[in-house]
Structure 1
Amino acid sequence: MNDHSEDKVFSLERQQAILAFVEENKKATVAELCQIFKVSTSTIRNDLREMEKNMLVTRTHGGVLIRSKTGVEMMSTEKEVCNHDAKVMVAQLALEQIEDGDTLLLDTGTTTLELAKILGERQQLTVITNDLKIALTLEDSPGVVNLFFIGGAVRKQLHCVIPFSNDNSLSDLIIDKAIMGTNGFTLKNGATTPDVRQAAFKKKMIACSTSVILLADSTKIGRDAFAKFADISDIHIFITDSIKDDVRSGLEAQGMLVCDGSAKNRG
């Protein structure tokens, strides 16, 4: 066996050990892993990059989180540190789709929360949301003149509310734009979330909206969660930080407008 092959074997063994550690502890920092495995920062980062490519983990700033299964959802505090820069980029692109005077349904999520933080750049907005943090963020926003919070059962650690099954609070509303988050997005299955109750409410949000805008950082593309809430045909605009050409072509072929940071940088 040559030196290159031996290095690859050692790398695979180390990655398996890293995965076992992260599965047990749910997360790990690069510094922590360097100390445990007695290797350099660049070696650990290369391992984590390869593991993320194989959909085993999700990298964050300075560390790594265990990759969620289709029926499992990370807590909001974990989501907030995951791909934060990408979410900020997506939020900035989403703001370009919002006009003064719009009535918005703002879905729960850490990417939609980033959008909420900059909505003050627009004027005379009406916003309806089921996200506790988003509501608090918009309470003093100068651009939001009307703010409505949808009540129901609080999802602990996720900072959002799911209305009760007989709730009809959205049924008589006509919304300009639903700004939706998602846990997974594929050409085959559309937009998905781990919680069936959340999926049911997301469908209600879509049903009362004239335009549906889906926000998803690139780590959500190619992944499926447990419950579908939107087909490709339900979504008018898809906004992400980066997208492969074949996926973009597949979406555009079905009439969807695709906006992404890489395209903007190229332009």
Structure 2
Amino acid sequence: MFATERRNVILEILQEKKRITVKDLSKMLEVSEATLRSDLSSMENQGLLTRTHGGAVLDSPINSEHTFSERKKKNRQSKVIIAKEAVKLINEKDCILLDASTTALEIARILKEENMQLTVLTNGISAAIELRDNPSITVILLGGMLRNGSMALEGEFGLNILNQIHVDTMFTSARGFTTEEGLTDFSVFEVELKKNLVKRVEKVIAIIDHSKIGDNSIASFAKLDDIDIFVSENEVDEDLQQSLEQHQVQFILAD
């Protein structure tokens, strides 16, 4: 089991049990306690859990830097710049999917003022609220579980609707992006939802600000081969540019 897979399992266990000891984890995963202590330390640095004597507890989302209210304040100007560029990729009568990210929320805020006929699917409660008063836009909220401190509906409850609707484009952000892992996130439930969404849409557009490039979260939901267009507000380095070209990913610089 790779480290990212193992940490994903640890997070799933914590989501269920809320606390766990290193000794119990070692028995369950058949991994050394030293390796697990290293895993837990790394996950604590990412804000996913809190280390305790002999184990770990799941962080309360309300106190976490990962809450929606905290995330939407971070790098907002970068997200607005990216959103303005992303909106240029939307055509009249498109059916688009916005994830529950704060960057996708900025796209919703722009679309709110546009006179464009669209169908918008989203698992983001805030994005749906922004768009609800625009009579030209049909908003479909994907159902799911609402976690404390989150504005995202998570899980696979809303996937059936995608069997009835053709989605042109998915706009998605992430907690991290690397060439090896692609787009990564820390919520097990959101990762599973996004994996399914990526498979069911025509085109995937990654909307990633500079702070997330080179960072890696708990689990991947889209590899480079799954991405069609990559939008960021900063130039990327030569190595990343080459990787994007090799995988036929179009890079768009938002400015």
* TM-score, L = length of structure 1: 0.68
Contact preservation (8 Å) 1:176, 1:211: yes
Which residue of the other structure, out of 229, 234, 239, is the alignment partner of 2:221?
A: 229
Q: SS of the counterpart of 1:108?
A: coil
AA in 2 matched with 1:259: I
- Cα distance, 1:93–1:123 mapped onto 2, change above 3 Å: same
Which 5+ residue runs of structure 2 have no aligned equivalent?
Answer: 1-43, 50-64
- Cα distance, 1:70–1:235 mapped onto 2, change above 3 Å: farther
Which residue of the other structure, out of 97, 120, 125, is the alignment partner of 1:127?
A: 120
Which 5+ residue runs of structure 1 have no aligned equivalent?
Answer: 1-66
Q: SS of the counterpart of 2:215?
A: coil
- Cα distance, 1:118–1:143 mapped onto 2, change above 3 Å: farther
Superposed counterparts of 1:76-95, under 5 Å: 76-95=68-87
Which residue of the other structure, out of 124, 128, 141, is the alignment partner of 1:149?
A: 141
Runs of 4+ in 1 over 2 A off after TM superposition: 70-73, 163-173
- Across the aligned residues of Structure 1 and Structure 2, the Cα RMSD in angstroms comes to 2.0
Contact preservation (8 Å) 1:68, 1:74: no
Aligned to 2:54: none
State the alpha-carbon separation in 2 of the partners of residues 68 and 241 from structure 1. Answer: 26
Whose radius of gyration is greater, 1 or 2?
1
State the alpha-carbon separation in 2 of the partners of residues 164 and 257 from structure 1. Answer: 29
Aligned to 1:207: 199
AA in 1 matched with 2:203: S
State the alpha-carbon separation in 2 of the partners of residues 187 and 91 from structure 1. Answer: 22
Aligned to 1:14: none
Q: SS of the counterpart of 1:113?
A: helix
| Identity level (%) | 31
State the alpha-carbon separation in 2 of the partners of residues 226 and 156 from structure 1. Answer: 19
**C-alpha offsets along residues 188-238 of structure 1, whole Å, 9 cap, x if unaligned?**
110000012111100111111111111111101000100110010000001
Shift of 1:77: 1.1
- Cα distance, 1:134–1:248 mapped onto 2, change above 3 Å: same
AA in 2 matched with 1:139: R
Q: SS of the counterpart of 1:169?
A: helix
- Cα distance, 1:111–1:68 mapped onto 2, change above 3 Å: farther
AA in 2 matched with 1:124: Q
**C-alpha offsets along residues 78-117 of structure 1, whole Å, 9 cap, x if unaligned?**
1111101100000011011111110011111100000000
- Cα distance, 1:184–1:122 mapped onto 2, change above 3 Å: farther
**C-alpha offsets along residues 155-181 of structure 1, whole Å, 9 cap, x if unaligned?**
221211013469533234321001111
Contact preservation (8 Å) 1:186, 1:223: yes
- Cα distance, 1:257–1:167 mapped onto 2, change above 3 Å: closer
Which residue of the other structure, out of 176, 182, 189, is the alignment partner of 1:197?
A: 189
Shift of 1:68: 6.0
Q: SS of the counterpart of 1:244?
A: coil
Q: SS of the counterpart of 2:165?
A: coil
Aligned to 2:174: 182
- Cα distance, 1:68–1:160 mapped onto 2, change above 3 Å: farther
* Paired residues, number: 195
Aligned to 1:239: 231
Superposed counterparts of 1:47-86, under 5 Å: 69=46, 71=48, 74-86=66-78
